[in-house]
Structure 1
């Protein structure tokens, strides 16, 4: 059974994030993707393979060409994680704000 890569692993690389952005706009073949980068076609192919293994890209055959398409529903996992982090830090900053307000009020001279 093929092991599935983690979506976080896929988006950790800036080149893969750029590929996802490109494919979110339109389907492209490997050569069209590679033309946008200063790396070898083999390197781009490996990036696409990783994106495919984690479910962010699907490859569809059209005639002799193979086109890569973004399948972004897998990013829901990242969005859920980011939302939890945002909630956690919002609570921490709110607590810090309350504490600092309390400390400042205690330092003000009473009239």
Structure 2
């Protein structure tokens, strides 16, 4: 008896007993579980990656905004202080004049909105 004949006979006996159907069912169940696990792992990894990316983007945006703001203030603050130096050094501005200036600024702010 040849080895291939023995395998063919074993397969024929297993097919007649229903063992091949059971093995096929088990393999189908295992492969279905693996596929579902893979899909779940992919979706879970994607949500973790998205959350991490948002966290990193927020940190980088805050650092960049702080750096740009500091650069702007260092560049423009001397000019602003020089422009308002007369108001800072002067005691000639009365309370009434200060209230009028503040009211004018408030009116301009409301008009722009």
User: Per the shorter chain, which TM-score range?
Assistant: 0.3 to 0.5
**Which has a greater percent of strand?**
1
The TM-score, its normalising length taken from structure 2, stands at: 0.36
Higher-helix-fraction structure? 2
Q: Which has the higher contact order (CA 8 A, sep 6+)?
A: 1
Bigger radius of gyration: 2
Provide the TM-score with structure 1 as the length reference.
0.37
